[in-house]
Amino acid sequence: MFAKPMIRALVLICTFIISGCSFFIMGENVMFVSGDIRNRSTKSCELHLIYDSESVARNYNIQAVSGIFTVDYVVAPTNEKYAVEVKCNGQLIVRRVALYSESNEAFDLGEI
């Protein structure tokens, strides 16, 4: 009598452990940022992705860019605002606000 509920509980616990995070509705998406900095005389440029609630980019959201580039960033699976900055030799060249959504996952800075 006690064994059946214990076995059921054990099966449920094992199923939960094996399934991992699939019970949680979480995920991540990718945002693509592209542009063209071929006309810049400097070779040391960085692309910064800054969360709307923050003032500077986190280290993992800074990537070196040159020429015609496309960079991808892992972002939250929700509609969010991000600031996109291009800095060359530490100087801010351009700053634009990008609104990410699943229907608009690419952001083109154009020629900088």
Q: What is the pLDDT of residues 90-99, one digit of tens each?
A: 899 999 998 8
Domains of the chain: 29-111 (2.60.40.10)
For residue 2, what are the CA distances in angstroms to 5, 6, 10, 11, 12? 6, 6, 12, 15, 16
pTM of the model: 0.72
Per-residue pLDDT of the chain (112 residues; tens, 9 = 90+): 566 666 676 666 656 565 555 555 556 789 999 999 988 777 789 999 999 889 999 999 999 999 999 999 998 888 889 999 999 988 999 999 988 887 788 899 999 8
Count of C-beta atoms within a 10 Å radius of residue 109: 20
Tokens encoding 37? 């900095």
